[in-house]
Structure 1
């Protein structure tokens, strides 16, 4: 996703420098580029000579001078006294200066995303693609596949959200950023679903190494078991309504819990991992029959060694893709082992290109750097 421009016009130069330094050193540096101004005539020159896009953050000192000036930038008021309000005349929102910079920028980003969403709804926009990774049995490599897929898409310039719906998720071992926020999300899912969209901007985490946003449960086993299918739909709809992501990658567990079934139902594409094992043949056939003949299922053989020994024809679908067996992953001892195979990482993207990325989309992005 292209960075948006943040223009800051503030008479407090020290505050502006601190804000800019924080952006460049944090995950917000992946999403926004900041330009500081302390003189009115300089920002007027920008507004007059450029078709600028982004957000114009104004201190109250300058806002009254520019409140009625037309610009393509979305205005926000940096206030010392007012928070979470609107200017009665212009409907421009206030942003309280004396809060943590992380919260301030999160609210600013949410505001900009909302404006983009409004513009997209008026002009028509491509819908976020929801892709789930599922299997009929454990130890099939779902999380490995889901995270490598999210990584490959993000490294090619796509905005990606990774969501684990497992009862016990191991992703806290692999991902950087704050974890353990899922319990707060569950609270809002149950008590105030209408507020979920804005809260997602505050609760989601960002991995600066893999370049995608994520939510993953830490130790909320009981809470995850109590989540309903309808609540999962609310969550996915809220993520889509942010209009911020090209892909939502859902990491599912091998069960038929209502939250898992609903995740499958609302997915645009299901990557159903199978292993070349008789037990897997039986379980995959039984579960696929129980869940119904979903048309968006792609059976993918993981841990493929070059020859297929078992017959999967009773599934009624061909094996759509083969992901390679990685001997180094037979026993994981350190988090670093997850990134030892460039072959697997690249093959996850080849799988995506073959199964659900359009030819136009693939040719446009295939020149991007391949992450190993």
Structure 2
């Protein structure tokens, strides 16, 4: 999300200066640019001179002057007496002046994100596609597949969010961004889910080279075990509501923990990896049956050597794609080694195209590549 403009008109200049200083020195400075006004005529000149976009925060002394004023700015009232609520007559929200600046700005940012989401929805913005990568046993290549798919989509101009729901994730080895933020997000997910949207903007990690936003647990094993399925639904719904991503790639672990099952339930597509191994095929058959009817499952054989040795017919669904075995990955010694295989990376994208997982511009680009 780009920075939005925050126009503040307040008769308490000292408070306004303190608010602006806090924004510029805190993480909120990454999301908003503040401009202060102490006289209404000055801000009216600005509003008349340009098509401003953002939030207009006015104190109770001035806000009646702006109720009927046409502007693209979303209005909020800075109040000394009324806590966070709506004006019954105008439906303009109040912000209580004497709460902590962190809480005030978090609520302001949540308000703006909600308004932005409403505007995008009214213009028919395409729904974010949620793609999960799952398997019935470990060492199947879920993380490799999920990350390479995210990379390929990102490099083709798609906006991608990678979400690991593993108890212990190796993502920090492959993606270069600030880690250790998941525990803070879990706190808000449990205590203040209504503030999750703006907190996601502040606490997500970003790999600048791959252009992927992501969340990955670092050492939150107990916290991940305590997350409920409903909390995962809230997290993914919030990510979708940001309207920033064409794709959310969920890296699941081989378990039936409620957070994993909910991740499967909310997915538009499930890439279920299977190895050409009797034990893995049996576990896949049993687990697929136990999880119930899921019509969005695509069984994909990973580490395919070119020769099939097991019978997959008992799965009840055809194998949708084969991902190649990469001998260099038998023993990983460095992150560079993991990114070295262009073959697997390209095949991950070809898989998504073959399964009709990619859409819109990405699908057109895939058709063009196939035609050439």
The CA deviation string for residues 140-183 of structure 1, in whole angstroms up to 9 with x for no partner, is 11001111111111222222111111111001111122111111
Instruction: State how far apart, in whole Å, the 1-side matches of 2:339 and 2:144 are.
Output: 10
CA contact (8 A) 1:6 1:57 kept: no
Question: SS state of the match for residue 294, structure 2?
Answer: coil
Q: Counterpart in 2 of 1:272?
A: 272
Q: CA deviation at 1:130?
A: 1.2
2:179 is paired with a residue whose SS is: coil
Structure 2: how far apart are the matches of 1:359 and 1:143? 22
Of 220-229 and 183-192, deviating more is 183-192
Aligned residue runs from structure 1 range 179-328, under 5 A: 179-328=179-328
Separation in 1, partners of 2:139, 2:250: 17
1:110/1:305 Cα in 2 relative to 1: closer, same or farther (>3 Å)? Answer: farther
- Please report how far the alpha carbon of residue 357 of structure 1 lies from its aligned counterpart in structure 2 after TM superposition: 3.3
Displacement of 1:199 after TM fit?
2.0
| Correspondence for 2:14 | none
Is the counterpart of residue 130 in structure 1 residue 130 in structure 2? Answer: yes
Q: How many residues align?
A: 350
C-alpha distance in structure 2 between counterparts of 1:203 and 1:271, whole Å:
27
- How far, CA to CA, are the matches of 1:107 and 1:192 in structure 2? 11
Equivalent runs, 1:129-168 vs 2, <5 Å = 129-168=129-168
SS at match of 2:256: coil
- Deviation, 1:46, is 5.6
Q: Which residue of 1 aligns with 2:341?
A: 341
Structure 1: runs of 5+ lacking an equivalent: 11-15
CA contact (8 A) 1:56 1:75 kept: yes
Once the two structures are TM-superposed, the CA of residue 194 in structure 1 deviates from its matched residue by: 2.7
Q: In the superposition, relative to structure 1, how do residues 193 and 319 fare at CA in structure 2: closer, same or farther (>3 Å)?
A: same
State the alpha-carbon separation in 1 of the partners of residues 363 and 240 from structure 2. Answer: 25
| Contact preservation (8 Å) 2:160, 2:248 | yes
Give the superposition deviation at 1:200. 1.7
Q: Could you say what the CA RMSD is over the residues aligned between the two structures, in angstroms?
A: 4.4
Give deviations 1:8-36, integer Å, cap 9, x for gaps: 999xxxxx9xx99xx9xx9x8xxx9x9x9
**Residues 1-12 of structure 1 aligned to structure 2 (within 5 Å):** none
CA distance in 1, matches of 2:280, 2:257: 19
Contact 2:353/2:363 (<8 A) preserved: no
Residue 59 of structure 1: how far off its partner (Å): 12
2:244 partner SS: coil
CA-CA distance at 1:108 after TM superposition: 8.8
Is the 2:76–2:92 contact (alpha carbons within 8 Å) kept by the matching residues of 1? no
Question: Aligned residue for 2:16?
Answer: none
2:356 alignment counterpart: 356
Which position in structure 2 is the counterpart of 1:175?
A: 175
Q: 1:320 aligns to what SS in structure 2? A: strand
Alpha-carbon shift at residue 42 of structure 1 (Å)? 9.8
Q: Does the aligned pair in 2 maintain the 1:152–1:346 contact within 8 Å? A: yes
The alpha carbon displacement at 1:133 in A equals: 0.3
Deviation at 1:356, TM superposition (A): 3.4
Counterpart-to-counterpart distance in 2, 1:75 and 1:338: 49
For 1:56 and 1:241, the matched residues in 2 are separated by 19
Contact 2:135 2:274 in 1 (8 A): yes
Q: How far did residue 315 of structure 1 move?
A: 0.4
Distance 1:151 1:259 in 2: 25
1:4-153 equivalence runs, <5 A: 47=51, 55=54, 70=70, 72=72, 113-153=113-153
